[in-house]
Amino acid sequence: MAWEAVADLDQLEEGDMMLVELSQPICLIRLYEDDVRAIHNTCTHQQQQLHEGTLQDDDTLVCPAHASRFDLATGDPIGIPAVKPIPVYACKIEDGAIWVDMEQQLNDAEIPHKPYH
């Protein structure tokens, strides 16, 4: 277990996203008041940074480059062009902070390779 406080909860409004640099670049998404998700920040299509994407009403995230859509619970892409899932990590709210455990990946997605740019 390696839970790490990565941000104050009040740094991230409901419906917003932010990048945090842990052992991998992580996109935090505050879906609801009491629900924050942590995914790898690198799109599995062409390595765009996902924290610059757009949240949808169905709790998916759309990549800003070519509009791949990822399920924030499973990490699975929904439709092309991305075909590989994005890693999803354990994330919780406690003591007014957002915590991530990079040792607890919740799916079996491969780590995307680093952006070329």
Q: Which of 11, 46, 74, 104 binds ligand FES (CB under 6 A)?
A: 46
Site for ligand FES contains 24 (CB under 6 A): no
Cα(107)–Cα(94) distance, integer angstroms: 23
> Could you give the C-alpha distances from 79 to 11, 13, 56, 95, in angstroms and in order?
32, 28, 15, 38
Q: Which of 38, 41, 48, 88 binds ligand FES (CB under 6 A)?
A: 48
Cα(26)–Cα(113) distance, integer angstroms: 13
> Could you give the C-alpha distances from 117 to 11, 26, 43, 50, in angstroms and in order?
28, 17, 13, 14
Site for ligand FES contains 65 (CB under 6 A): yes
Site for ligand FES contains 66 (CB under 6 A): yes
Specify the 3-state DSSP secondary structure of 108.
coil
Please identify, using beta-carbon distances, which residue of 12 and 41 lies nearer to ligand FES: 41
Min dist. Cβ of residue 81 to ligand FES (A): 5
Q: Which of 30, 37, 45, 51 binds ligand FES (CB under 6 A)?
A: 45
List the beta bridge partners of residue 97: 8, 94
| Residues that bind ligand FES in the complex, under the rule CB under 6 A | 43, 45-46, 48, 63, 65-66, 68, 81-82
